[in-house]
Amino acid sequence: MFKFFAYINRMKYIRRWSLMRSVREENIMEHSQQVAVIAHALALINNKIYGGNVDISKTVLLAQYHEVGEVITGDLPTPIKYFNPEINLAYKDLEKLACTRILNMLPEELKDEYTLYVLPKDTDSEENKLVKYADRLSAYLKCVEEIKAGNNEFKKAKLSIEKELKNCDNKAVSYFLKHFAPAFELTLDELD
């Protein structure tokens, strides 16, 4: 019996934004799906609009599996994760151990394929960078959603993430922010 997919399925129980009061709770499974959708868009924008050459499938799969380790570690809040370099390094080591443990729940014949996306070696690849931007865009959109619902708890986070994204040197991110992000502030009636 292999337990990999049963563990992955438990992503729906790991809550995000644990230090913040949320109008709507979010789990890492739905977050990963949103990051995959945004990463796909960023890769397409990069390639089709700006003439880039990133591997779209690789980008989407990296995004889909970017939170796998949190099934074991939980979602450590950003202020704690980045409090100091020692905590950040220790957390990265813990995440790697958690991912390795989960990957060991696969048959040997599949392990290498999943390892490419759960524990990628080339963390500086363009595809990985797009996933990191998609992850930040997802956090930004969560802030937009919460503020739209009247929750001012997310105001400071929104401003901080927005500033970070606007100052990044990535044309696809800028394009997404300009052309897609504003629609997240609309109501259903306004979207129609």
Q: What angle do CA 95, 97, 99 make, to 5 degrees?
A: 70
Q: What is the pLDDT of residues 125-171, one digit of tens each?
A: 999 999 999 999 999 999 999 999 999 999 999 999 999 999 999 99
Find out whether 131 and 170 touch, Cβ atoms under 8 Å. no
Question: Quick one: which of 60, 35, 34 has its CA closest to 47?
Answer: 60
Dihedral sign (CA 17, 23, 25, 31):
negative
pTM value surpassing 0.85: yes
Q: What is the pLDDT of residues 40-80, one digit of tens each?
A: 999 999 999 999 999 999 999 999 999 999 998 877 667 66
Long-range pairs for 113-118 at CB < 8 Å and ≥24 separation?
A: 114/4, 114/65, 116/58, 116/61, 117/58, 117/61, 117/62, 117/64, 117/65, 118/65, 118/68, 118/69
Dist CA 68 CA 74 (whole Å): 10
Residue corresponding to tokens 């779209």: 56
